[in-house]
Amino acid sequence: MDLALLRTFVTVHRAGSFTRAAALLGLSQPAVTSQIRTLERQLGRPLFLRQARGVTPTTIGDELAHKAAPHLDALVEIAETGLDDDSSLRTLHLAGPPEFTAERALPALTELTGDDGQGFALRVSFGNSDEVLDGLAAGHNDLAITTAQPRGALLTATPLCDEEHVLVAAPRWADETDPGRLRRKEAHTLEALPVVEVHESLPFITRYWASVFDARPAASGTVVVPDLRAVLACAISGAGLAVLPRYLCAAALDRGDIVALLDPAVPPLRTYFLVVRTGTLAMPHIARAHEWLLEAAATWT
pLDDT in tens, 37-59: 999 999 999 999 988 778 999 99
Classified by CATH at the fold level, domain 3-82 comes out as Arc Repressor Mutant, subunit A (1.10.10)
d(CA 124, CA 8): 25
Q: Do domains 91-162+271-298 and 163-269 have the same CATH topology?
A: yes
CATH number of this structure's domain 91-162+271-298: 3.40.190.10
Q: Which helix (H) or strand (E) holds 273?
A: strand 269-277
Nearest to 122 by CA among 247, 300, 293: 293
Domain boundaries along the sequence of the chain: 3-82, 91-162+271-298, 163-269
Per residue in 223-258, pLDDT (tens digit) is 999 999 999 999 999 999 999 999 999 999 999 999
Residue 284, Cβ density class (10 Å: 0-12 exposed, 13-18 middle, ≥19 buried): exposed
Q: Which residues pair with 168 in a beta bridge?
A: 242, 260
Region label for 27, one of left (φ > 0), alpha (ψ between -120 and 50) or beta (otherwise): beta
Query: Is the model's pTM score more than 0.85?
Result: no
Q: Answer yes or no: are the C-beta atoms of 133 and 255 closer than 8 Å.
A: no
Confidence of residue 184 (pLDDT cuts 50, 70, 90): very low
Question: Does CATH place domain 163-269 in 3.40.190.10?
Answer: yes
Say how far apart CA 17 and CA 4 lie, in whole Å: 17
> Residue 82's pLDDT is what?
56
